[in-house]
Structure 1
Amino acid sequence: MATAALALVGGGIAVAVAPHVAGPSGDGTAVTPTGQRVTPWGEQTVLGDLPLNSALSPDGKRLLVTNNGQGTQSLQLVDVADREVEQTLTYKTPESLYVGLAWSPDGTKAYASAAANAKIRTFAYDGGKLTEGAPLALPTKTPDGKALNLYPAGLAVTPDGAKIVVADQLGDAVSVIDTATGAVQTAPAGSKPFAVSLSPDGKTAYITNQGGSDVSVVDVSGDQPAVVRTLPVGLHPNKSTITGDGKTLFVANGDADTVSAVDTATGEAKTISLSPYQDAPVGTNPTGLALDEKGGRLFVANSGNNDVAVVSLADGSVAGVIPSAWYPSSLAFRDGALHVTNAKGLGAGPNDGPGHPDPTSPNKTAEDQYSGSMIKGTLSSYAVPTGGELQKATEQVKNNNRPATTGVGAVVPAQPGGQSPIKHVIYVVKENRTYDQVLGDIGKGNGDPSLTLFGDDSAPNTRALAKQFTTIDNFYADAEVSANGWNWVTQANSNPYAEQMWPANYSGRKAPYPSENSNPENAAQEPGNSYVWQRLDKAGVNFRNYGFFVNNTANGAVSSDPVLDAKTDRAYRGYDLKCPDSTGTFAPLAANCGTPRVDEWIKDFTGQVSAGTVPTVQFVRLPNDHTQGTKAGAPTPQAYVADNDYALGRLVDTVSHSSIWKDTAIFVTEDDAQNGADHVDAHRTLALAISPYTQTGKVDSTFYSTASMVRTIGLIAGFKPLTQFDAYATPMSASFTANPNPAAYTAVKPSYPMTALNGANAPLAAQSSAQDLTKEDQINEATFNEAIWKSVKGADSEMPAPQHHVIGAGSASAAGDSDD
């Protein structure tokens, strides 16, 4: 645990820094990487990896939960009376689950989507146990023989039990399955169909289209389903629920922070705002819904605010909010009790093994060592508070989401575009390192030397910059992996679509990569106004792009976002591990690499300085610290990191010896921290603030995250917060001083041989060679991380296993034994 420290604030103000860090606190509470506290209400039960949905049995005695994470996926049965997990059915890739869950009306059968396997799993239920039977298969080819990936998501069963209606998320379709014969009829629907609600008579299905802002009304009464109407709702609708009389459909709009109450007869919708305060930017990200019609209440799971809103059906007002654990995803209500699945529970905590790290530990690499699969979901169960208790709960949520008081100085302005000596910002994003991996042994800051893999031989510049400028040792990636990390570094949010989709993508379960290139369903709000560069463009601020959100084509780097594409350096190579970040390192492994990345940047930058046209903001991607593990014929992990480090050093050297150094700040971070161990939390990562105004040698232990860096850039460059997360985040003021040190920095060439390649006998070389490294993280990260560890520490060393403190002692029920 980091200790309290005095931090130097811009203008010379010293403030006490709160000693909190991200992760579980050991008492049943936690701090998320964004800095929000989570203090879940009610009794807590540990679930599996990323519970995204739940469904109560018709008799109300069992809650069925689907865990849809990157590692082992599972179905769990929870006894509602004692909150104990009674049964767990596990599925390892390529077998899968997804959000779809439903019970037959008589409670003797249950159904679950197996999206990657193009089938609906069927289960007999008897004596409190599920027994899996023959699946109901969906088509995998079109009538003319082309491959088809329908990817079944939400499910609903008709009142007579004869049909299952399925939202085919990646097929932009809806399917109806005859439960007796298995016959399937499919029809087109909207963009990314996600959830299904049925009218009471079972003849009409309402399909939320998560990739758009509408609901498809589907007639499922005949032999062939058909869309008969389309109802407008808010942006990126998630789950839905319908009243018992079928007259009102409620839809949670994930990127509008609203619920639409739709009159199913007229199609007219009333909008219920879920924003935590007036004029709040997007970030509430509602996901799940549950109705208490008898009590006149609607419950909404707000995944971004970590709470459940209690909405009055009488007037649509929010009566109060109840604190949840991290990322509430689904709700189930019956007999006065609410059950909330929390997809990320109490977070990760350290992933360095029990006690201190020990490279000689016999522990093998496992799912619970990887940031993408080590987090356990939880279930919160309670009687819904009312009156004074509800107001007490509401105040708790406000306190949980209230940013810490910080000093604001003369460098980072208090308001966007305010007075600042900084006129130029360079935003550098790298790939996947933890703080301890690179800075754990630099002799200052909260580091663990035993976890350092890349020292002065392979990362001399990163380490020197951290010591010479400001050592930032309490900074967290807001994401688990690159697929949501690149959303956070560019828009300060990762919406429900991305959070639901990336685990299946990373585990080989046939999902798309839900990030980059500005696909509309990836945007946290309206697609043309979600990214940093879009805000800069609207504000009339000049910028230049080097490698962000581009595809490498025969015509150079091209972005699908026209705003970003117009300001993109075509000669700067995007993500491609075959191409070096810097000259003087490894030889290009492909014929079309062109100029090494930082050399192209230096050429472009030098011309701008000479012409007096240096843009206000630059986006620079330096990807090669990702490495290719121990893949035979590829640079060794140390060589890749050295190549990346030398590129960063040369960039800083070039800027600091230029005429704009006096009014420039260079911000450097990783998109995520998934490829290493850290003794504080698996999300803790590198952050550098490099400027004459940060050349202090001080340690800044203020709690920061990716959103803090986005917020700081916005304050300097002149755009308002993109989301609630950067609005909430602490600006990086404490890393700056009002008294600049203009001394230039001279890059250090790493002593590690940057031309070193992995041999055929490198540790885990065969496993590394079999992985797909053409795009970020399309790999088995546990094997990848172990390969990197062994390449540095030795083939016989053992990578340490993580500690977990998901639920404080005595505060929760443990998950039941696995029943495969």
Structure 2
Amino acid sequence: MRRLVRVGVTAAAVLVVGAGTAYAVNTALHAGPQGDGTGVTPAGWRVTPAGAQTALGSLPTASALSPDGKLLLVLNAGDATHESVQAIDPASHAVVQTIPYKKPDGLYAGVAFSPDGRHAYASSGGANTIHAYSVDGQHHLTEDPPIALPTKNPAGQVVNLYPAGLAVTPDGKRLVVADQMSDSASVVDLATRRVDTVGVGHNPYGVALSPDGRTAYVSNQGANTVSVLDISGPLPTVARTVTVGTHPNRMAVDPHAGTVYVANSESDSVSVVPAGAAAPRSTIDLSPYQGAPVGSNPDGLALSADAGTLYVANSGNNDVDVVDAHTGHIRGMIPTAWYPTAVTPSADGRTLFVVNAKGLGAGPNPNGPNPYTDNQRSGTPGFEAQYVGTMIAGSLSSIPTPDAAQLAKYSQQVVANDGFDERDKVRSAAPNNPVPARVGEPSPIKHVIYVVKENRTFDQEFGSLGKGNGDPSLNLFGDDSAPNSRALQRKFVTLDNFYANAEVSAQGWNWSVGANSNPYVEQTWVGNYSGRNHPYDYEGGNFTTAMNRDPKDSYIWDRLADKNIAFRNYGFYESDNVFNPGPSGPDPRLVANTDPNFYGWDLKCPDSSGTFTPRTACNTRIDEWQREFQQYEAKGNLPAVEFLRLGNDHTQNTTPGYPTPKAYVADNDYALGRLVDSVSHSRDWASTAIFVVEDDAQAGPDHVDAHRTIAQVISPYTQTGKVDSTQYSTASMLRTIELIAGIGPMTQFDATATPMFNSFTGKPNLTPYTAVKPAQDILTSVNGANAPMAAQSAAQDYTREDQIDEQVSNQAIWQSVRGAGSPMPAPVHAAGAPPNPPAGDPDDDGH
């Protein structure tokens, strides 16, 4: 049942001259909307959606078609004020009604109609309610009082059910809900609104019902199981548990035979479970090519009216698989926009409606970042703020159901878009390039130091560098506060076309260490960032966020451990010197190779400056790293890979008594300078490469794309002073590290990513680097009580990344650097923003 794509198509971004020869890259390619109805993702994959396109709101995650086929509902589950239900006319594909929600209310992942089409329901996520609607004869929605779910368990303890998927029984009397954060499912009597709850597996997500309505299926997204519930009696009970693939998402049920199809996100498969069975009958492999690592991330499922065709929305591959439901054979693939989350056939079967969470991407945000939305300040219809977390508009693709010939053409387009036909043809242009073209080939580089920082864009720090594609007007941190980063960018290789694969840190850390961000992370981070009652569980602790078949073998350090390659961790996946707790516990192999004296996330702990005030009881990060480095140098046993977290460039804005934003950046910059200074004056300099990247680019403006970020490769083999404008991403950096270290790719994204060959030369320059200490008045400056927006900054939560109000953060940083009262550039309408924004007066206070 494996998909075997063999199509002679060459991806537009790549030109392969011949087997074993040069690898040429179109350096003019950039991420974001291309202006012709197509886009390019930060990973470099083209987006060419089939069919007609309708602009939606932010992060649409689910859809449902009314029983008469005349109304399509879509949930927009975006950040801050961007949550809404949109009603769409399937005939015209137009949005005819929008119902917005302000925090703490919101939406998540479940929407359904009653069998008679007179009622509809939507899950609220952290508000712990089910939104209820009446639907009139004109298909207009009127909101009814919401259905309240329990907020305390029978013992009186507070619980957060966080409703996700839901389904209405065929008789229209009950609603079954997956309670994602309480590991339970609820059955609601719609007449009395009584709620009965039963325990299921970890982080349940999807709900489906048997044709007779007596059995409910609940997919446990945090495990590899489906809980089968008997809901025929007065109380729901778990009848059995069926083992399926890793992290099951949505399900579809054959209305005739009762067969259940389960989309397995991290197994890239669909489990086929006959009615009443205790195990799957078969598994449909969704791998895009033979031997492909995971990354398709199937989410939405739908069956044709005759149940003969299964449609699978692969959020990772930006396509819909068309599957013969009887044989499991994949007939072909349909290209979608970026990150499809749901697929729904029209009532007559002639059209497929595909919901795309990220549309065509972000594009430039030179007038941002601004808060999540500024509708009330702007007063401009269709206005969207240029914050990367909210400026990306989702879309609806209305696609005529393709015949065999059209499907074959579509399949070729998907292969070309995603570069699947190029994966085995990568060769370095230089025969002596120190980056191997294949895993296991030799390299003069024996040691890698991988540094991850926090949240900056290219233009914010390098816009005025004088090299590369920068916009000086957007540069906030110059040679005074970032002298080392800027000098290293000039002396070594300048990377001006490098993108974070993520929008925010919740996704960014998963991309930085696992080369993917799975549907759980992609669809729940907004509930955390917008203050809608979702925990920050994205950096270890909860293996629901792990992005591979085996959650305990998902991260780059796991792959190193698999091959007995020595590594050392300094701060990854820990906060305040404590590994992030969670229902799954921390990764034991990471814990065993971590320096216990190195502080992870804690903005009270300095990266480099001994005069940092105030400081917590911690060792200065770079001092602690340097202490162990000197020991390794003395013994000649420097690990092959080191992971180093330097996050103080995040800043604490203008909080009184804390370093100014420039001081925080200077502290972070000096730590990097000292790191390079130490390594470049050591015995291992000739065999070391230092890779530096931001986990995301959410906290700054950029004139190319809101994902474009700071990246550096520092090594004798990159000390050329050249500009490398090849389109790279976080996945490219990971692939380069993997090739040097001798481990294979973790997902399809690093497998198909462009290695950073063009940044390296075969002729090393061993000249050492001497760190530059930022000016003392910059390095030690502290916010006063009257600092710009001091009170607002002091009220923010800095205990974890990205728990703050981004509007306050960005305005405070801007005024701190440019002067009190200086206005940030006015936001403008983001490319691709929906033409009909939610009505009302949404708040803009972020999170």
TM superposition score normalised by structure 2: 0.91
Q: CA separation in 1, counterparts of 2:661 and 2:326?
A: 61
Contact 1:103 1:157 in 2 (8 A): yes
Residue 805 of structure 1 and its aligned partner are, at CA, apart by 6.1
Write the letter of the residue equivalent to 2:390: S
Q: Does 2:754 align with 1:730?
A: yes
Matches within 5 A, 1:318-717: 318-334=330-346, 335=348, 336-353=350-367, 368-402=385-419, 407-409=428-430, 410-525=433-548, 526-553=550-577, 560-590=586-616, 592-593=617-618, 595-717=619-741
Residue 562 of structure 1 and its aligned partner are, at CA, apart by 1.1
The CA deviation string for residues 171-216 of structure 1, in whole angstroms up to 9 with x for no partner, is 1111111111111111111111111101112111000110011111
Q: CA separation in 2, counterparts of 1:555 and 1:103?
A: 43
- SS of equivalent to 2:358: strand
Matches within 5 A, 1:103-118: 103-118=113-128
Q: CA separation in 2, counterparts of 1:804 and 1:34?
A: 25
Residue 424 of structure 1 and its aligned partner are, at CA, apart by 0.6
Q: 1:93 to 1:320 in 2, by over 3 A?
A: same
Query: Match for residue 18 of structure 1?
Result: 27
Q: CA separation in 2, counterparts of 1:30 and 1:805?
A: 14
Write the letter of the residue equivalent to 1:128: H
Query: Match for residue 52 of structure 1?
Result: 61
Residue 760 of structure 1 and its aligned partner are, at CA, apart by 2.1
Q: CA separation in 2, counterparts of 1:68 and 1:783?
A: 22
Query: Match for residue 770 of structure 1?
Result: 795
Write the letter of the residue equivalent to 2:538: S
Residue 548 of structure 1 and its aligned partner are, at CA, apart by 0.6
Q: CA separation in 2, counterparts of 1:551 and 1:807?
A: 37
Q: 1:585 to 1:20 in 2, by over 3 A?
A: farther
Q: CA separation in 1, counterparts of 2:402 and 2:429?
A: 39
Contact 1:29 1:39 in 2 (8 A): yes
Write the letter of the residue equivalent to 1:369: Q
Q: CA separation in 1, counterparts of 2:22 and 2:721?
A: 16
Picking from 755, 778, 781, the partner of 1:753 is: 778
Contact 2:502 2:696 in 1 (8 A): yes
Q: CA separation in 2, counterparts of 1:205 and 1:530?
A: 31
Query: Match for residue 4 of structure 2?
Result: none
Q: CA separation in 2, counterparts of 1:715 and 1:248?
A: 43
- SS of equivalent to 1:216: strand
Q: 1:733 to 1:584 in 2, by over 3 A?
A: same
Query: Match for residue 73 of structure 2?
Result: 64
Picking from 250, 267, 275, the partner of 2:287 is: 275
Contact 2:577 2:599 in 1 (8 A): no
Contact 1:71 1:367 in 2 (8 A): no
Q: CA separation in 2, counterparts of 1:793 and 1:695?
A: 33
The CA deviation string for residues 667-705 of structure 1, in whole angstroms up to 9 with x for no partner, is 000000011100011110001000000000000000000
Contact 1:557 1:574 in 2 (8 A): no
The CA deviation string for residues 771-803 of structure 1, in whole angstroms up to 9 with x for no partner, is 111001012223212221121122332223556
Matches within 5 A, 1:201-240: 201-240=212-251
Q: CA separation in 1, counterparts of 2:69 and 2:336?
A: 22
Q: 1:179 to 1:557 in 2, by over 3 A?
A: closer
Contact 1:367 1:782 in 2 (8 A): no
- SS of equivalent to 2:270: strand
Q: CA separation in 2, counterparts of 1:150 and 1:440?
A: 46
The CA deviation string for residues 74-125 of structure 1, in whole angstroms up to 9 with x for no partner, is 1100111111111111112111111111111111111111121111111111
Q: CA separation in 2, counterparts of 1:364 and 1:456?
A: 38
Q: Which runs of 5+ in 2 are unaligned?
A: 1-12, 370-376, 842-847
**What RMSD in Å do the two structures reach over aligned CA positions?**
2.4
Query: Match for residue 314 of structure 1?
Result: 326
Query: Match for residue 839 of structure 2?
Result: 818
Q: CA separation in 2, counterparts of 1:124 and 1:225?
A: 27
Q: 1:556 to 1:262 in 2, by over 3 A?
A: closer
Contact 2:456 2:698 in 1 (8 A): yes
Q: Does 2:155 align with 1:151?
A: no
Picking from 154, 169, 172, the partner of 2:183 is: 172
- SS of equivalent to 2:779: coil
Residue 638 of structure 1 and its aligned partner are, at CA, apart by 0.3
Contact 1:368 1:375 in 2 (8 A): no
Picking from 788, 812, 818, the partner of 1:793 is: 818
Query: Match for residue 244 of structure 1?
Result: 255
Contact 2:577 2:597 in 1 (8 A): no
Write the letter of the residue equivalent to 2:822: S
Write the letter of the residue equivalent to 1:818: A
The CA deviation string for residues 739-780 of structure 1, in whole angstroms up to 9 with x for no partner, is 111000000011252121112222222221111110010122
Identity between Structure 1 and Structure 2 (%):
57
Contact 1:26 1:807 in 2 (8 A): no
Write the letter of the residue equivalent to 1:487: N
Write the letter of the residue equivalent to 1:759: G
Q: 1:364 to 1:506 in 2, by over 3 A?
A: farther
Q: How many correspondences in the alignment?
A: 801
Contact 1:445 1:473 in 2 (8 A): yes
Residue 16 of structure 1 and its aligned partner are, at CA, apart by 5.7
TM superposition score normalised by structure 1: 0.94
- SS of equivalent to 1:289: strand
Query: Match for residue 106 of structure 2?
Result: 96
Picking from 80, 83, 89, the partner of 2:90 is: 80
Residue 353 of structure 1 and its aligned partner are, at CA, apart by 3.0
Contact 2:428 2:437 in 1 (8 A): no
Query: Match for residue 286 of structure 1?
Result: 298
Query: Match for residue 718 of structure 1?
Result: 742
Q: 1:415 to 1:408 in 2, by over 3 A?
A: farther
Q: Does 2:317 align with 1:305?
A: yes
Q: CA separation in 2, counterparts of 1:65 and 1:771?
A: 33
Q: CA separation in 1, counterparts of 2:579 and 2:202?
A: 30
- SS of equivalent to 1:753: helix
Query: Match for residue 258 of structure 1?
Result: 269
Q: 1:285 to 1:562 in 2, by over 3 A?
A: same
Q: CA separation in 1, counterparts of 2:544 and 2:305?
A: 32
Contact 1:348 1:804 in 2 (8 A): no
Write the letter of the residue equivalent to 1:766: A
Write the letter of the residue equivalent to 1:55: A
Q: CA separation in 2, counterparts of 1:406 and 1:219?
A: 56
Residue 578 of structure 1 and its aligned partner are, at CA, apart by 0.5
Q: CA separation in 1, counterparts of 2:581 and 2:52?
A: 52
Contact 2:788 2:812 in 1 (8 A): yes
